[in-house]
Structure 1
Amino acid sequence: MTSDCTLSNDHLSLSVAEMGAEMQYLRTQSGMDLLWDGDPAYWTGRAPVLFPIVGRAVDDRIAVGEHSADMAQHGIARRRAFALEEQSKLHCRHVLRADPETRAQYPFDFALYLTHALSNATLTVTARVENLSETEMPFGFGFHPAFHWPLPGAETQPHLVQLQSGSSPTQQPLQSDGLLMPNREDGPFRKGCLGITEPLFKDGALVFPNGTEALRYGAKDGPGLSFTFHNLPDLALWKPVDAPFLCVEPWHGTASLVGDGPQIAERPNSVMLAAGEAAEFGYSVTAEI
């Protein structure tokens, strides 16, 4: 029995796969695709969930106390099948529970719930992480959705990312190996606006620690997507060279810094979740198309 699900209302339709509880499409009822389609010529992902690390670890190896293991970029959840626990026309909830295979890499009992819900032209994605172990559990968490660039209906118009506050957050440079430099520098936002161009991403993703806030991606006076975030203080934007999509990535935690050790607890902005406790994260995106 499949754990895939499909949601639909008068504005949007959405499909979520059991593998990684990853969205497969998000489209308007007029047939405009908003989410990237996973073309392997550029990137097979669409909207992976990042847990229990965000980004890369030094030598792709993590540790929790005396336990150490190999762990690929962005963790294990994106490569695991989730079970479908609830579904209606407008929402579905998947869960990933720890098992012997996950514990071999990440030595905790946990439950990770992913809920996708539609309300008018808004999609809300919520994650709940439960620590079912008897000890404190360190982790990072993030979302990695990719949206078409340009957006449908705005093919000839320049696209911007506009921060609601008009701020200009600092940037943390990312090395070619996926690790972050320890220094901060002035970022490319100017009074909250960033024009999306190919040269902007020539060195990889743009990472803004503690830089998330409500934002809009799209044409200045045309179609766009408006985002709000919950408990996700870090922001990244990523667009591979010549790829027809932009990733808007809210995180709690980032890649390791150059020179860091393998301990998850020492990674930037890691969550330290007490035994028996839970933490929630989420974002909403409204289609203005």
Structure 2
Amino acid sequence: MSDRIRIANDTLTVEVSSLGAEMQRLDTADGRAYLWNGDDRWWSGRSPILFPIVGKAPDDTIAINGKSYPMKQHGFARRSEFALMDSGADFCRHALTASETTLAAYPYAFSLVLEHRLDGATLTVTATVTNAGAEPMPYGIGFHPAFRWPLPGAENTPHLVTLDNGAEPQMVRLEGGLIAPDLLPSPFTAGTLALSPDLFEADALIFPEGAGKGLRFGPKDGAGLTFTFDNLPNIALWQKPGAPFLCVEPWHGMAARSDASAELTERPFTVALAAGDSAAYGFSVTVPV
């Protein structure tokens, strides 16, 4: 049975489940709910952590040094029970470590620590990966939080995604769940993308590089959510067409390329963490108050 822990301050309340260390609620003190509710008629996820891969592998199989291992989309962390390491009024920290089950799919000694921390109207989620083994450890990692679209108080109002850097990053699409080889023109104009469900009829919009370290999601006129990203160079936007949510997904790693092998090290933006080293990745979201 999974457990939930509640953290709060004067502005925000967050609930986190031990299953996947996944956030279940992000509410303001006055009752506005910003996180998607996980209605499985659309998508049962809310804010899964993606590890040790982001996206799909060919035939749900990765290869490591030529040996095949079973690996479902987005990896096993989101389906694993994390242990609560520490918590206080406004933070909690969960950990997943290598086990017989994980070693059968991913033959590396690792720890993955996920922290949720509140500071005023801002939630920061940080994932720290440690290589506890004796050889370099390849992996991908990412976040997959879903937010209500439209945002509370902005019903019947067009929503935008606006990049802090004002860029027009090129895009890739998925082909059978894998990254298609062609770079496509940017859907952004001077850093702004007007959102509509038809954008997602061919699945996620994926920006391998150039989307920058922050963005805003919300109505053109009025308060929105602001995001910053740390050590996460890839950004994806995803919605099941017509669903009442938008996923803002910062990653370090992507699905396998449709024209490449199943080798984990060949996946775009795979990390190779040295023995004994740790690396941190995170995002912050600030809620309008």
TM-score by length of 1: 0.98
- Counterpart of 2:189 in structure 1: which amino acid? R
Q: Deviations over 1:128-185 (max 9, x none)?
A: 000001111000000000000000010121100000111100001212x211111111
Instruction: State which drifts further: 183-192 or 36-45.
Output: 183-192
The aligned counterpart of 1:59 is 59
Pairwise mapping of residues 116-135 of structure 1 onto structure 2 (< 5 A)?
Answer: 116-135=116-135
Contact kept, 8 Å, 1:214 with 1:227, in 2: the verdict is yes
Written as runs of structure 1 = structure 2, the 5 A alignment for 1:89-238 is 89-175=89-175, 177-210=176-209, 211-238=211-238
Show the counterpart of 2:70: 70
Matched residue, 1:280: 280
Q: Secondary structure at the match of 1:103?
A: helix
1:195 corresponds to which letter in structure 2?
A
Q: Secondary structure at the match of 1:45?
A: coil
Give, in whole Å, the separation in 1 of the partners of 2:286 and 2:11: 10
DSSP 3-state at the match of 2:25: strand
Determine the C-alpha separation between the residues in 1 that align with 2:173 and 2:37. Answer: 28
> Following TM superposition, by how much is the alpha carbon of 1:221 offset from its aligned partner in structure 2, in angstroms?
1.8
Given that residues 212 and 232 in structure 1 are in contact (C-alpha distance below 8 angstroms), is that contact kept between their aligned partners in structure 2?
no
* Consecutive aligned runs of 4 or more in structure 1 exceeding 6 Å deviation: none
Structure 2 CA distance, aligned partners of 1:86 and 1:47? 20
The residue identity in structure 2 corresponding to 1:204 is D
Partner of 1:82: 82
Contact 1:153 1:223 in 2 (8 A): no
Give the CA deviation at 1:83.
Answer: 0.2
Contact 1:180–1:256, Cα closer than 8 Å, also in 2 = yes
Letter in 2 for 1:120: G
* RMSD, aligned α-carbons: 1.1
CA-CA distance at 1:275 after TM superposition? 0.6
| Contiguous gaps of at least 5 residues in structure 2 | none
Asked whether the 8 Å contact 2:54–2:140 carries over to 1, the reply is: yes
What is the number of residues matched between the two proteins?
288
Question: Shift of the alpha carbon at 1:241?
Answer: 1.4
- Give the drift of 1:60: 1.1
- What is the aligned-residue identity percentage? 50
Tell me the distance in 1 between the aligned counterparts of 2:98 and 2:123: 27
**Matched residues in 2 for 1:4 and 1:152: separation?**
24
TM-fit CA distance, 1:67: 3.1
Q: Which runs of 5+ in 1 are unaligned?
A: none
Q: What is the match of residue 27 of structure 1? A: 27
| Whole-Å separation in 1 of the counterparts to 2:84 and 2:206 | 33
**Is the Cα contact below 8 Å between 1:232 and 1:250 reproduced in 2?**
yes
* Counterpart code for 1:265: T
Secondary structure at the counterpart of residue 31 of structure 1: coil
Query: Counterpart of 1:245?
Result: 245
Q: Is this contact kept in 1: 2:174–2:204, CA < 8 A?
A: yes
How far off its partner does 1:288 sit? 1.5
User: 1:269 matched to which residue of 2?
Assistant: 269
8 Å contact from structure 2 (residues 165, 212) kept in 1:
no
Separation in structure 2 between the aligned mates of residue 196 and residue 230 of structure 1, nearest angstrom: 24
Aligned partner of residue 115 in structure 1, secondary structure: strand
CA contact (8 A) 1:135 1:274 kept: yes
Query: What letter is aligned with 2:214?
Result: A
- 1:3 CA drift (Å): 4.4
